[in-house]
Amino acid sequence: MDTHTLEQRARAEGTPVITGETATFVWRGRKPVSVMGDFQEWSGKPVPLKEVAPGLWIHTLKLPRDTYVEYAFQDAKGRRVRDPLNERLVPNGFGDFNHFFHMPESQPTPLARAQRGVPRGTVTRHLVETRELGVGRQRAVHLYAPPTSKPCPLVVVFDGPDYLRRVKLPTLVDNLIAQGRIRPLALAMVANGGAARTVEYSCSEATLAFLRHQVLPLAHQELNLVDETREPGAHAVLGASLGGLIALYTGLRAPEVFGHVLSQSGAFSIWNHDLVVFDLARAAPSRPLQVWMDCGHFEGLVEGNQRILPILQASGHRAQYREYHGGHNYPAWRDNVWRGLEWLFAPRR
């Protein structure tokens, strides 16, 4: 493609210009910019765009056709620069925005959009005492009650406000229930400890006690839940990144309550060593878990997920792992979480 046609397409279609398996970033300016993003796990040096005509700079990536990518331009001083030819922006979780794009066979899941005629559950906000089991005196918990009168299992969701706002998890669950793809579920979406999130989510017994002694009683009081003493392991835990780590840890430590685990981009091996979930996964379980794990192909966390899968399976857990073409972000988790929910909670026949 000649440079004139490329620039025309960029202005008409937006950037990057996508053709088959290639995505070409286009920048018009006197000075160059560099690009970084999911495709390099936001690490290393930004990739400089190359000048192909006076004031026209480009860089081409080859990507699988079902890839979702977030990226940012930087100037020579490392400052973020908006891409004027791409108006698609998404919060990056650190007070700024990333540009994003979808390759031809990738699209946002329609399950995260409210659909006409679908019965909706209700979401309520509560404050629970931390009882010295978490930072601060109280912690926010959003409860979702599905549109059913029957008792149902509970899914405790770490980083709950993000799954509520950015994943639209209640809407997604509404749609899955209405389509008969999962049995009705309740949700307890628990806020993290802010600056203490890493401490709380790094295999913390205090966090586990907070769930068992504060969050679970609240959920039983406000929601119509199955009784885990009569149906051991009925409930589930869900989280992403360090949230995925504490989700698996919770299941391994309390399988009689949380027998279902959905871990997205679980941070099982970080800081150059394996965390204690590897040792727990090797132990003979008192009650086997149902574990779904997924992770983005571009993430450094892939290796830890790939290694812990056969360990879980060898110990007797029913475990499944899926790798998708994406990075470490909530849109990717939103577009993949439904698969784990389906796998764990398919309707009983």
- Is 348's pLDDT higher than 80? no
Q: So what's the pLDDT on residue 4?
A: 87
pTM for this model (two decimals)? 0.96
Q: What share of the chain has pLDDT > 90, as a percent?
A: 97
pLDDT in tens, 70-84: 999 999 999 999 999
Report the C-alpha gap between 344 and 185 in whole angstroms: 11
Among 52, 80, 102, identify where a domain stops. 102
The residue with tokens 């030819």 is 85
How many structural domains are present in the chain? 2
First to last CA, the chain: 55
Do residues 148 and 282 both lie within one domain? yes
List alpha helices for the chain, DSSP H: 3-13, 160-165, 169-178, 197-201, 205-210, 216-222, 242-253, 277-282, 302-314, 330-345
**Which tens digits make up the pLDDT trace of 99-133?**
999 999 999 999 999 999 999 999 999 999 999 99
Same domain, 91 and 227: no
CATH code, domain with 239? 3.40.50.1820
Residues 246 and 218 in one domain: yes
Give yes or no: residues 182 and 285 share one domain. Answer: yes
Q: Which of 67, 102, 137 is the last residue of a domain?
A: 102
Write down the residue that tokens 């969050």 correspond to. 215
Is residue 90 scored above 70 in pLDDT? yes
User: Can you give the CATH number for the domain in which 34 is found?
Assistant: 2.60.40.10
Q: What is the pLDDT of residue 53?
A: 95
Is the pLDDT at 26 greater than 90? The verdict is yes
Q: What is the pLDDT of residues 161-194, one digit of tens each?
A: 999 999 999 999 999 999 999 999 999 999 999 9
The pLDDT value given to residue 349: 64
Q: What would the pLDDT profile of 320-332 be if each residue is shown by its tens digit?
A: 999 999 999 999 9
| Helices 169-178, 330-345: crossing angle, 10 deg rounding | 40
Question: Which pLDDT does position 1 carry in this prediction?
Answer: 73
For residues 120 and 95, state if they share a domain. Answer: no
Q: What is the mean pLDDT of residues 278-298?
A: 97
Q: What mean pLDDT comes out for the span 254-280?
A: 97
CB 306 within 8 A of CB 268: no
Work out the percent of the chain whose per-residue pLDDT is above 70. Answer: 100
Mean pLDDT, the chain, rounded, equals 97
82 and 115 share a domain?
A: no
pLDDT range class, residue 212, cuts 50, 70, 90: very high
Residues spanned by the domain of 76:
3-102
| Of 130, 139, 169, 143, residue with least CA distance to 333 | 169
Residues 188 and 141 in one domain: yes
Q: Which of 40, 71, 102 is the last residue of a domain?
A: 102
pLDDT at 140: 98
Residues 145 and 261 in one domain: yes
* Half-sphere CA count of 137, side-chain side, radius 13 A: 0
Specify whether 95 is located in the same domain as 124. Answer: no
